[in-house]
């Protein structure tokens, strides 16, 4: 009876008491975790097919296998990660800047666009088996001999909607940060920009070395806001590049549908790869690393209640990452013999190696901030934060190892890359950091709703931690034995590693199910529906006097 | 110290990264344990901040210096335009099929240039041992140079597989025992 009561009503969650800001945050979070589950199931299906290719639903079909492989990162990265990050930041920016969100309507537009866009991309792969993979290597996405044109058009429209939603998020964030209201009423745009780029931190360091007073004792923007701003610069550039590539593919597909046959070789495949990877790498090396560093800093200060250790260094490091993240894309092209050697050496190897420095700094600053505040209680946010740092502690050096002309020759496109580096970075590093943020924000966005079960929360933590590291490690070991990442092995090759990786994948799906049970039993089905009903309270602030969004205030006059 | 083949390099890499992984897991576990304890933890090692930064820089840059000096194909790859190969094999790829110049027979120690051209999509050109492990590879882009200079320091028969996805059809791009390297001691591989 108690179970049923919890399932319907939750613990003490009341959706009708939520503000507009809380509701729009929770809507994106719900969609994010649903897409995460879909991505986890897709990943597990692929793992199962690599153990036994005839297992349903793939049943030895390469078309089906690669369709799943195409949408798996779209659903996982955009449908889930983007939504979760955007949700957290659309709540945190008003909270940290003590100003209202620019527009709640735009925030709703963002999650709806990303949700519909992800669904369309998924439908294109599911219905028409459109499978050029997320890399979209030219001219494969415009290859209408292998793929149906309609599938390609639907897929590209889906991706375009995701990017339009992303641009909406960026506009909302920048409009909120640079709004000259509240605490920033007397700030100039120049002052806010200097702070947003971390220049004030660098000037403070220089002045300290020269024995002068600090450039700015109280920076206009707090450090997590600076990190969010900086990461969002890369998110913006990445959205433009992916939109650009999408438009190119769409133009060719529409031309094909209208009966025209355009020469795909008019576009240079290697030049296209450079353009695409420059943009796509901003997600991995710009957006993820910077957003993550910012999240660690925020979490460390919230968990300890103390100031961040070496804050000026952290601000300056974010400025350094600005240049690093824009210049590292060639590490994806170390196996491309047409790529100039100098670009491989400078961009692919040397600048990429600086990520060891920027991420190592973020790790150091966060660990020392925590250490100085000990003894600390091992809460869920702290547990996940440590898990997240461990994830990047494993995945970043793995990346530096493979971003080397000698190692890349035998590691490129193997399971090492996608396992030991990508999946450990995303599932252990990024997701555990995001779960930490979720647990920190949970009482704020749900008005102190009691979590249904700490046992379930702990089971989720351990299953996810061991499952994600284990899966990445076994995939990596298979990669060292020569297993490729974009190949459907049909003859039981690398079976032992695949069975072990499959067990770990099942652990992660189980972890997700336990997490969802815990959340649903806490908010209840009624509460879950209530999140999607219109908010009665139009407050778009948190922690200060309630105010509606900037747009709502303007409309009211 | 020189790694003659990818097998030797990957074995070293496997051990080195496993040790590192165990180390970082232990450090975080030790940190988490001591973070909650009231008693002051004794530092196992005290690393000054600038020492840590120097370590990161040295690690990032030193890794490339190490591989340049220990992996023979790095300098060979960079300087391949100035090296005259002992043999050149022209390979054409189109419609998800390798068009090879017959069985490629090589003597151990010869420098061989694989010159691949794609007529349509992006493919990969990978050489694999009979146990599935990788010898070497490159991407094959249409419209640009795809030349892999390789010195075989091991004997055996090697398969060719496309190492890049080119659509579901590309999954079948596999040629068994396309390359044969001879010239080792009788019964030996090296």
Q: What is the ipTM of this complex?
A: 0.95
Contacts of A333 in chain B (CB under 8 A): 139
Interface test with B, best of A337, A404, A428 (most B CBs within 10 A): A337
Best to test chain A binding among B1, B61, B122, B149 (most A CBs inside 10 Å): B122
How is B125-182 classified by DSSP, letter by letter? EEEE-TTS-EEEEEEE-TTS--EEEEE--S-EEEEEE--S--SGGGGG-EEEEEEEEE
Identity of the residue in B25, B63, B138 whose CB atom sits nearest the CB atom of A400: B63
User: Which stretches within A58-198 are classed as H helix?
Assistant: 62-73, 83-97, 104-128, 149-177, 189-196
Phi, psi of A351, rounded to the nearest 5 degrees: -65, -40
Which residues of B are less than 8 Å from A412 in CB distance? 137, 139, 163
- Please report, to the nearest 10 degrees, the dihedral formed by the alpha carbons of residues A327, A332, A335, A339 taken in order: -40
β-strands B174-182, B156-161 pairing: antiparallel
Tens digit of each residue's pLDDT (9 = 90 or more) over A230-277: 899 999 999 999 999 999 999 999 999 999 889 999 999 999 999 999
Interface contact B122-A386, CB threshold 8 A:
no
Which residue has tokens 């003659």? B4
- Global pTM value: 0.95
CA distance A546 to A541: 6
Contact list in B for residue A477 (CB cut-off 8 A) is 14
H or E stretch at A410:
helix A405-411
Taking the CA atoms of A70, A71, A73 and A77 in sequence, report the sign of the dihedral they define.
positive
Beta bridge partners of A426: none
A390·B64 Cβ contact <8 A: no
Q: How far apart are CA A116 and CA A112, in angstroms?
A: 6
Do A367 and B122 make contact, defined as CB atoms within 8 angstroms?
no
Q: Going by C-beta distance under 8 Å and a sequence separation of 6 or more, which residues neighbour residue A531?
A: A15, A18, A23, A26, A27, A30, A523
With contact defined as beta carbons under 8 Å apart, do A5 and A522 qualify?
A: no
| Pair A311, A218: CB distance under 8 Å | no
What are the tokens at A251? 């133009």
Tens-digit pLDDT profile for chain A (557 aa)? 589 999 999 999 999 999 999 999 999 999 999 999 999 999 999 999 999 999 999 999 999 999 999 999 999 999 999 999 999 999 999 999 999 999 999 999 999 999 999 999 999 999 999 999 999 999 999 999 999 999 999 999 999 999 999 999 999 999 999 999 988 999 999 999 999 888 888 888 889 889 988 888 788 899 899 999 989 999 999 999 999 999 999 999 999 999 988 999 999 999 999 999 999 988 877 677 889 999 999 999 999 999 999 988 888 888 888 778 899 999 999 999 999 999 999 999 999 998 899 899 999 999 999 999 999 999 999 999 999 999 999 999 999 999 999 999 999 999 999 999 999 999 999 999 999 999 999 999 999 999 999 999 999 999 999 999 999 999 999 999 999 999 999 999 999 999 999 999 999 999 999 999 999 999 999 999 999 999 999 999 999 999 999 999 999 87
Size of interface A-B (CB pairs under 8 A): 207
Residues of B in Cβ contact (< 8 Å) with A382: 35
Among A379, A403, A487, most B C-beta atoms within 10 A, so best to mutate, is A487
A409 and B73 in contact by Cβ < 8 A? yes
Q: What is the C-alpha to C-alpha distance for residues B181 and B168, in angstroms, rounded to an integer?
A: 31
Q: How far is CA B159 from CA A12, B103, B177, B184, in A?
A: 63, 11, 5, 19
């Amino acid at each position: 009876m108690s179970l049923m009561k919890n399932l319907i009503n939750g613990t003490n969650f009341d959706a009708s008491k939520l503000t507009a800001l809380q509701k729009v945050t929770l809507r994106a979070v719900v969609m994010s975790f649903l897409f995460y589950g879909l991505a986890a199931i897709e990943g597990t299906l692929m793992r199962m097919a690599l153990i036994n290719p005839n297992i349903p639903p793939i049943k030895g079909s390469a078309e089906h296998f690669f369709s799943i492989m195409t949408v798996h990162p779209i659903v996982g990265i955009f449908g889930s990660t983007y939504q979760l990050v955007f949700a957290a930041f659309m709540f945190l920016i008003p909270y940290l800047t003590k100003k209202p969100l620019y527009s709640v309507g735009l925030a709703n537009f963002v999650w709806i666009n990303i949700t519909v866009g992800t669904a369309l991309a998924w439908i294109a792969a599911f219905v028409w088996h459109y499978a050029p993979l997320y890399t979209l290597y030219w001219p494969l996405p415009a290859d209408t001999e292998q793929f149906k044109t309609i599938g390609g058009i639907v897929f590209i429209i889906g991706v375009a909607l995701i990017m339009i939603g992303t641009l909406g998020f960026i506009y909302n964030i920048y409009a909120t940060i640079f709004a000259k209201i509240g605490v920033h009423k007397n700030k100039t745009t120049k002052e806010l920009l200097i702070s947003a780029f971390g220049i004030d931190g660098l000037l403070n360091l220089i002045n300290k070395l020269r024995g002068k007073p600090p450039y700015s004792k109280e920076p206009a923007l707090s450090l997590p806001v600076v990190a969010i701003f900086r990461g969002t610069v890369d998110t913006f550039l990445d959205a433009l590049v992916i939109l650009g590539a999408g438009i190119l593919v769409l133009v060719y597909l529409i031309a094909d549908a209208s009966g025209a046959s355009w020469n795909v070789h008019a576009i240079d495949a290697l030049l296209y790869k450079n353009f695409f990877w420059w943009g796509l790498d901003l997600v991995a090396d710009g957006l993820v690393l910077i957003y993550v560093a910012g999240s660690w800093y925020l979490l460390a200060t919230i968990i300890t209640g103390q100031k961040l250790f070496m804050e000026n260094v952290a601000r300056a490091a974010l400025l350094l990452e600005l240049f690093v993240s824009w210049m590292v894309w060639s590490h994806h092209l170390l196996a491309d013999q047409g790529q100039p050697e100098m670009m491989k050496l400078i961009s692919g190897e040397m600048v990429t190696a600086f990520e060891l420095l920027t991420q190592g700094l973020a790790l150091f600053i966060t660990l020392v901030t925590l250490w100085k505040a000990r003894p600390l209680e091992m809460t869920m946010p702290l547990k996940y934060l440590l898990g997240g740092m461990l994830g990047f502690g494993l995945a970043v050096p793995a990346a530096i190892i493979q971003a080397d002309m000698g190692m890349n020759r035998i590691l490129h496109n193997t399971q090492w890359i996608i396992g030991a580096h990508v999946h450990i970075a995303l599932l252990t590093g990024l997701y555990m950091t995001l779960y930490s943020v979720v647990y920190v924000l949970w009482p704020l966005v749900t008005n102190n709703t009691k979590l249904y079960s700490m046992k379930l929360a702990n089971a989720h933590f351990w299953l996810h931690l061991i499952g994600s590291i284990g899966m990445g490690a076994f995939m990596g070991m298979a990669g060292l034995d020569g297993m490729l990442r974009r190949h459907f092995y049909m003859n039981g090759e690398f079976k032992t590693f695949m069975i072990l990786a499959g067990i770990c994948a099942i652990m992660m799906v189980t972890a997700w199910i336990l997490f969802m049970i815990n959340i649903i039993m806490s908010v209840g089905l009624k509460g879950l529906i209530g999140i999607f009903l219109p908010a009665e309270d139009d407050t778009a602030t948190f922690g200060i006097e309630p105010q509606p969004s900037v747009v709502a205030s303007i409309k009211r006059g | 110290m020189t790694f003659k083949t990818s097998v030797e390099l990957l074995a070293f890499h496997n051990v080195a990264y496993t040790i590192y992984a165990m180390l970082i897991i232990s450090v975080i576990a030790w940190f988490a344990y001591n973070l909650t304890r009231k008693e002051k933890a004794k530092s196992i090692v005290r690393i000054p901040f600038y020492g840590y930064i120097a370590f990161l820089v040295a690690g990032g840059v030193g890794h490339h210096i190490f591989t340049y000096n220990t992996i023979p194909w790095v300098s060979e790859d960079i300087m391949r335009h100035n090296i005259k190969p002992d043999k050149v094999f022209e390979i054409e790829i189109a419609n998800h099929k390798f068009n090879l110049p017959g069985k490629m027979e090589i003597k151990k120690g010869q420098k061989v240039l694989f010159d691949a051209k794609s007529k349509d999509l992006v493919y990969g050109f990978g050489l694999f041992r009979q146990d599935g492990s990788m010898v070497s590879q490159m991407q094959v882009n249409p419209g640009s140079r795809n030349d892999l200079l390789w010195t075989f320091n091991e004997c055996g028969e090697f398969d060719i597989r496309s190492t890049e996805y080119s659509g579901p059809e590309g999954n079948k791009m596999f040629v068994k025992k396309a390359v044969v390297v001879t010239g080792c001691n009788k019964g030996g591989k090296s």
